[in-house]
Amino acid sequence: MKARDIFSYSFSAIRLRKLRAGLTTLGVVIGIAAIVALLSVTQGLQNTITNQLETGLATDTLIVVPGRGFFSEGGTSIGGGFGVGGSDFKLFINDTEIINSLSLDIETSVAIIRKNVYLQSQEQSLVVTIRGVDFAKYAEIYHTTFVADKGTINLNPANDEIVIGKALHDPWENGTLLFNLGEELEIIWTNTTARPPENVSYTGRVTAVLQEIGGFGVGGPSDVGVYIPLEQAQHFFGTEECDTIIVKLKTSERDVINAVSEAITDAYGGEVSVVTSTAVLNIINRVFSVIQLFLAGIAAISLLVAGIGIMNIMIVSLIERTREIGILKALGMKNRTVLMIFLGESVIIGLIGAVLGIGAGWALANVVAVVFSEGGLFGGIASGQSAQISNGGLTIVPVLTPTVLVGALIFGVGVSVIFALYPAWRASKLKPVEALRYE
């Protein structure tokens, strides 16, 4: 029997039981829709986060942190925050000079002292991460982002000057201000190394508000950042140690990045980690792959349930059509053709289900994206470290990759066919004499 005739026979059998076939197909539609929706939303979210990171992470900068292994390319350990616990190694502010001397490809480097403090005005009090940086060098490295929207960033600042990110100034973007330009703020830090622990504080003045940056600001300036002069930080926190050294390269070539990273790591005997933007992005991508696999796995379960539905319906159909199969065999139809007819039915159900499912999933993904984007569900994440501050939310644009598209199609049809194999095989093996006798 010709393939077209087999297909047409399968189709006529499906058409005979429209409701049943429709409900069976609905199972496939739901399964595929769930997979497509979850994957395209996740892919969209990944793209958004990657873009934001790329904004925050200049590709020609390296971030040097004390501790082994973390964020280095190919590394698999994922700890909390920069650096890995268990190492007593410290970076010092004057290590920038050592690092600068390591390679001619290094333009400059800047040390960052990072501490969690209370930032207190007359009305507001907030826990923030404060960064002590050399304003001049920092502005040189991040010349597109460490830029004042209001006030001025003095390259040779007075000790009490404070620069704040946009989100600490006007977080709701409606004129209700959190901390204003020119406002005096008290910075309170609990020195936990003192015995007994003691609170120290000083009063600073907001001299500049950064323009809106967006993104996560890994290493670089961020909308929720608070910046004070490096000397002031050294003096106030009583330390020569720094948490991070940002290294600016003369080029963003991959070979240079790798060579300098290696030179720095070697110079410190492997006691520091060099974070490159590509390494961070690699980790993000790896994490998202796992998330996608996990979500697709959950969605696949619903498709398996649909598959069992198909098997069930096929077995019922097989029993109902026993006599018909007997007739077909008596008329000379081969076992193989009977098998193909039943598999053909499952292919039709799978194909229709997958196509409708992809459409439904895509529609669902767009609805979910709109709800998530506008509802600001990710507002907290977007604003980085401080969950209290909304940054307006992320905009997720769902992405349906060709891989997902083709994969969903193959998976939908594949599951249908696999679950139809057993009933189809049973149908093909029916003995014509017995099948004809079946009432």
Report the interface residues with other proteins, using CB under 8 A. 1-2, 5, 9, 12-13, 15-16, 323-324, 327-337, 432-433, 436
Q: Which is nearer to other proteins, 12 or 312 (CB)?
A: 12
C-alpha dist (Å) from residue 382 to 40, 231, 370 = 20, 31, 16
Residue 319 Cβ vs other proteins, minimum distance, rounded to whole Å: 17
Query: What's the CA gap between 261 and 194, in Å, rounded?
Result: 36
Query: What's the CA gap between 415 and 419, in Å, rounded?
Result: 6
Q: Which residues pair with 211 in a beta bridge?
A: none
Residue 336 Cβ vs other proteins, minimum distance, rounded to whole Å: 8
Q: Which is nearer to other proteins, 286 or 437 (CB)?
A: 437
Q: Tell me how crowded residue 202 is: count the other CB atoms within 10 A of its CB.
A: 15
**The residue to which tokens 């209001």 are assigned:** 150
For residues 222 and 215, the answer to whether their CB atoms sit within 8 Å is: yes
Q: Which is nearer to other proteins, 13 or 318 (CB)?
A: 13
Strands 226-229 and 125-133: parallel
**Helices 3-16, 18-56: inter-axial angle, 10-degree rounding:** 100
Secondary structure (H, E, C), 202-269: EEEEEEEEECCCCCCCCCCCCCCCEEEEHHHHHHHHCCCEECEEEEEECCCCHHHHHHHHHHHHHHCC
**418 phi and psi, to 5 degrees?**
-60, -45
Q: Tell me how crowded residue 175 is: count the other CB atoms within 10 A of its CB.
A: 6
DSSP symbol at 216: -
Helices then strands, each counted (H, E), the chain: 13, 12
Q: Which is nearer to other proteins, 12 or 199 (CB)?
A: 12
Query: What's the CA gap between 68 and 71, in Å, rounded?
Result: 9
Residue 332 Cβ vs other proteins, minimum distance, rounded to whole Å: 3
Query: What's the CA gap between 99 and 108, in Å, rounded?
Result: 9
Pull the structure tokens for residue 272: 């520091």
Residue 427 Cβ vs other proteins, minimum distance, rounded to whole Å: 14
Query: What's the CA gap between 418 and 413, in Å, rounded?
Result: 9
Q: Which is nearer to other proteins, 376 or 432 (CB)?
A: 432
Q: Which is nearer to other proteins, 333 or 415 (CB)?
A: 333
Q: Which is nearer to other proteins, 359 or 432 (CB)?
A: 432
Q: Which is nearer to other proteins, 338 or 354 (CB)?
A: 338
Q: Tell me how crowded residue 146 is: count the other CB atoms within 10 A of its CB.
A: 23
Q: How far is CA 88 from the centre of its chain?
A: 32
Q: Which is nearer to other proteins, 4 or 195 (CB)?
A: 4
Residue 325 Cβ vs other proteins, minimum distance, rounded to whole Å: 11
Residue 4 Cβ vs other proteins, minimum distance, rounded to whole Å: 9
Q: Which is nearer to other proteins, 214 or 432 (CB)?
A: 432
Q: Which residues pair with 246 in a beta bridge?
A: 63, 110
Residue 18 Cβ vs other proteins, minimum distance, rounded to whole Å: 12
